[in-house]
């Protein structure tokens, strides 16, 4: 036992099936005999309904600040409440930048992949990417979202993936990205991965395109060990991998940050089965085991994982498992696990697992130094119903007598002026790219403001993006013809 006095953890029962499965997990933790005290706090639907805008009350935040460890049930955001889910609020508030989602073949849980000994961990970046939730309606008919990927964020998630691989004695880390299309955002994860990988020579490092990764997961999933990926890719891939091994009822997860860690099942609140005592508690019980390992209670974690295996080997099945025998209720399933604590699985030994070194977040503002930067041009997004030729003529006129030239006009990513592409469906959001005539000179703020003023006299602009060069490299995407 690690702690002489009780180790306090924050427990959020959550919504619908949440309280049922969290109660089962707490009962199992208690039965291991370790010294833990649960500080039960609320978040989710009931809090939104009470008028708490974030869905996370102050007392819950204070409890997490104190305990630094959370066992959490699924949370709902009722329709009409909150512009951010309570889950996203918790993840961003405590900057739990890494989401570990392990899945493995389990005895008695039959899937089309049974016998292939799957044992895969998705390491998902958890706070950046399209999930920053920065979205705009550019025109009444065109929406735009910002995909924010930082070098600092990539370093932290890649290091976490390798550190986890080392701690869990894994052999291989794949980095899955869409770097062939999104060269700057997804490409940043690939490049960071390729730079950091040589620091871990004992781990095999491979880059794979995300679409091929999905295909390979369906065809030959046994080739994967640890997969590190961006937020949205990871969200999708981890549901896929949980499907390979028996479904959401068996998929645990850990949200890891420097100041706090939140342990939860991958599944949601499953309203269709709530209140019936039929939900499978395995995912949250395995999440609780991850939590115990995180706080240094590795023996209790091993004990719980072994008891889950022994229970499944004994033929007991939860309602979401294939089979015809009578399914155990949530409480019966948890009681069976408790009765198997201290027993060893016939199929799998305990893992040799060291503590994971968590990459430190920085207190200073993260920056990547460059020696020379210039602004070579500017993209101005304009709402217009003019044809590309008409808008092209108008923007060419705007540039007359200035140091700027109209380089191209795009619409939905296609160049429609000057090389007019007549086959694309046009919308009322045009991207007009202006470049400095002398490419080695920098475009000044005054020149950009003067350009916007001239455009604004006859047109509606709503978004401006500087085109920069860092140390001679274009820091913007090329145009697509």
Residues in the site for ligand NAP, rule: CB under 6 A? 17, 21, 74-76, 87, 248-249, 264, 267-273, 279-280, 283, 319-320
Residue 310 in tokens: 């022994």
Q: How far is the CB of 216 from ligand NAP (least distance, A)?
A: 25
Measured between alpha carbons, how far is 225 from 223 in angstroms, rounded to an integer? 7
Measured between alpha carbons, how far is 10 from 93 in angstroms, rounded to an integer? 15
Q: How far is the CB of 36 from ligand NAP (least distance, A)?
A: 22
Which residue number, 186 or 305, has a Cβ lying nearer to ligand NAP?
A: 305
Which residue number, 119 or 264, has a Cβ lying nearer to ligand NAP?
A: 264
Q: How far is the CB of 476 from ligand NAP (least distance, A)?
A: 35
* Strand arrangement, sheet containing 404-411: 414-417, 404-411, 429-436, 373-383, 460-470, 473-474
- Strands 119-125 vs 226-229: parallel, antiparallel or unpaired: parallel
CA distance to 220, 246, 309, 313, per residue, from 114 (Å): 12, 9, 15, 14
What is the helix (H) or strand (E) element at residue 149, kind and residue range? none
Which residue number, 79 or 368, has a Cβ lying nearer to ligand NAP?
A: 79
Q: How far is the CB of 208 from ligand NAP (least distance, A)?
A: 26
Exposure string for 115-133, b = 16+ CB within 10 A, e = fewer: eeebbbbbbbbbbbbbbbe
* Strand arrangement, sheet containing 172-177: 36-40, 7-12, 69-72, 261-265, 252-256, 98-104, 119-125, 226-229, 172-177, 204-209
Which residue number, 322 or 346, has a Cβ lying nearer to ligand NAP?
A: 322
Q: How far is the CB of 281 from ligand NAP (least distance, A)?
A: 7
Measured between alpha carbons, how far is 75 from 83 in angstroms, rounded to an integer? 14
Of 441, 445, 449, 435, nearest to 404 by C-alpha is 435
Which residue number, 101 or 170, has a Cβ lying nearer to ligand NAP?
A: 101
Which residue number, 264 or 447, has a Cβ lying nearer to ligand NAP?
A: 264
Omega before residue 375 within 30° of 0, cis:
no
Q: What are phi and psi of 325, to 5 degrees?
A: -65, 165
Q: How far is the CB of 122 from ligand NAP (least distance, A)?
A: 15
Angle, helices 388-399/445-458, rounded to nearest 10 degrees = 130
Q: How far is the CB of 278 from ligand NAP (least distance, A)?
A: 7
Which residue number, 57 or 187, has a Cβ lying nearer to ligand NAP?
A: 57
Q: How far is the CB of 243 from ligand NAP (least distance, A)?
A: 10
Burial of 440 from C-beta contacts in 10 A (0-12 / 13-18 / 19+): exposed
Which residue number, 186 or 320, has a Cβ lying nearer to ligand NAP?
A: 320
Which residue number, 76 or 128, has a Cβ lying nearer to ligand NAP?
A: 76
Which residue number, 9 or 154, has a Cβ lying nearer to ligand NAP?
A: 9
Q: How far is the CB of 304 from ligand NAP (least distance, A)?
A: 17
8 Å CB contact between 264 and 71? yes
Which residue number, 224 or 333, has a Cβ lying nearer to ligand NAP?
A: 333
- Residue nearest ligand NAP (C-beta atom): 268
DSSP 202-267: TSEEEEEEHHHHHHHHHH-GGG-SEEEE-HHHHHHHHHHHHHHTT-GGG-EEEEE-SS-EEEEESS
Measured between alpha carbons, how far is 405 from 260 in angstroms, rounded to an integer? 51
* Contact partners, residue 166, CB within 8 Å, separation at least 6: 200, 202, 203, 354
Q: How far is the CB of 99 from ligand NAP (least distance, A)?
A: 10
Q: Would you state the torsion angle of the CA atoms of residues 52, 56, 57, 61, taken in this order, to the nearest 10 degrees? A: -150
Q: How far is the CB of 266 from ligand NAP (least distance, A)?
A: 7
Which residue number, 103 or 435, has a Cβ lying nearer to ligand NAP?
A: 103
Q: How far is the CB of 332 from ligand NAP (least distance, A)?
A: 14
């Amino acid at each position: 036992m690690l702690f002489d006095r009780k180790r306090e953890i924050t427990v959020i029962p959550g919504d619908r099936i949440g309280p049922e499965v969290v109660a089962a997990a707490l009962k199992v933790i208690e039965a291991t005999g370790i010294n833990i005290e649960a500080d039960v706090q609320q978040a989710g639907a009931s809090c939104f309904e009470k008028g708490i805008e974030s869905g996370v009350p102050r007392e819950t935040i204070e409890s997490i600040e104190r305990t630094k460890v959370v066992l959490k049930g699924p949370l709902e955001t009722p329709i009409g409440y909150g512009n951010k889910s309570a889950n996203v609020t918790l993840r961003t508030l405590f900057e739990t930048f890494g989401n570990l989602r392990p899945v493995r073949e389990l005895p008695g849980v039959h899937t089309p992949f049974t016998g292939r000994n799957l044992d895969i961990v998705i390491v998902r970046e958890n706070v950046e990417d399209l999930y920053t939730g920065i979205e705009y309606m550019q025109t009444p008919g065109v929406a735009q979202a910002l995909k924010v990927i930082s070098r600092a964020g990539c370093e932290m998630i890649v290091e976490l993936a390798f550190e986890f691989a080392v701690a869990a004695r894994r052999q291989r880390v794949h980095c899955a990205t869409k770097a062939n299309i999104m060269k700057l955002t997804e490409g940043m994860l690939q490049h960071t991965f390729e730079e950091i990988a040589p620091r871990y020579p004992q781990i095999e490092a491979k880059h794979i395109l995300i679409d091929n990764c999905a295909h390979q997961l369906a065809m030959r999933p046994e080739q994967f060990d640890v997969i590190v990926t961006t937020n949205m890719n990871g969200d999708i891939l981890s549901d896929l991998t949980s499907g390979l091994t028996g479904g959401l009822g068996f998929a645990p997860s850990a949200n890891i940050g420097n100041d706090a860690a939140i342990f939860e099942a991958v599944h949601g609140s499953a309203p269709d089965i709530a209140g019936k005592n039929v939900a499978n508690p395995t995912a949250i019980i395995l999440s609780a085991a991850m939590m115990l390992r995180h706080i240094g209670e590795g023996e209790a974690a091993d004990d719980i994982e072994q008891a889950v295996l022994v229970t499944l080997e004994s033929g007991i099945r939860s309602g979401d498992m294939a089979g015809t025998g009578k399914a155990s209720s949530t409480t019966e399933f948890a009681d069976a696990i408790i009765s198997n604590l201290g027993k060893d699985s016939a199929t799998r030994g305990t893992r040799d697992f060291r503590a994971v070194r968590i990459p430190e977040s920085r207190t200073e503002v993260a920056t990547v130094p460059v020696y020379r930067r210039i602004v070579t041009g500017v993209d101005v997004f304009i709402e217009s119903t003019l044809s590309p030729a008409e808008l092209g003529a108008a923007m060419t006129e705007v540039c007359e007598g200035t140091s700027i030239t109209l380089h191209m006009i795009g619409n939905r990513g296609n160049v429609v002026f000057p090389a007019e592409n007549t086959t694309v469906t046009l919308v009322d959001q045009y991207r007009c790219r202006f470049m400095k005539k002398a490419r080695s000179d920098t475009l000044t703020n005054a020149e950009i403001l003067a350009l916007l003023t001239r455009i604004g006299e006859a047109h509606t602009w709503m978004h401006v993006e500087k085109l920069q060069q860092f140390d001679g490299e274009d820091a913007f995407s090329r145009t697509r013809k």
